[in-house]
Amino acid sequence: DAMVIQNPRYQVTQFGKPVTLSCSQTLNHNVMYWYQQKSSQAPKLLFHYYDKDFNNEADTPDNFQSRRPNTSFCFLDIRSPGLGDAAMYLCATSGEGTQPQHFGDGTRLSIL
């Protein structure tokens, strides 16, 4: 059974039109992460939540925001998507920082 679920699997949006990607987990993990992965590249951490504490990576554009309303759900909001934001967005969870991360299968975002 899937433990980290991302919806939708594929998302198409227009240039500049806000979009929200969602992630849910059944693992009851403290930490939830959002990564951006472009073609043939490694996942790049955007931000993470430890419980309700939000931690943004220094090089994450302001265009990207996140919400975690409860332990199970986390959202990635892209306020004004540009063509360079087309990528796979991966959600992951872990119990603590130095533990293996459990990834969802990602949402592939296309920008028209």
- In whole angstroms, the minimum distance from the beta carbon of 18 to other proteins comes to 19
> Which range touches other proteins (CB under 8 A), out of 14-22, 64-72, 73-81, 93-101?
93-101
- In whole angstroms, the minimum distance from the beta carbon of 56 to other proteins comes to 11
Calpha distance 67→82 (Å, rounded): 21
Whether the upstream peptide bond of residue 8 has omega within 30° of 0, thus cis, is: yes
> Which range touches other proteins (CB under 8 A), out of 12-20, 42-50, 66-74?
42-50
Amino acid at 11: Q
DSSP-derived secondary structure for 4-50: EEEE-SEEEE-TT--EEEEEEESS--SEEEEEEE-TTS--EEEEEEE
Q: Determine, following the binding rule CB under 8 A, whether residue 59 of this chain makes contact with other proteins.
A: no
DSSP-derived letter for residue 52 is T
**Interface positions with other proteins (CB under 8 A):** 4, 31, 33, 38-45, 48, 50, 55, 57, 83-84, 86-87, 90, 92, 97-98, 100-106, 110-111
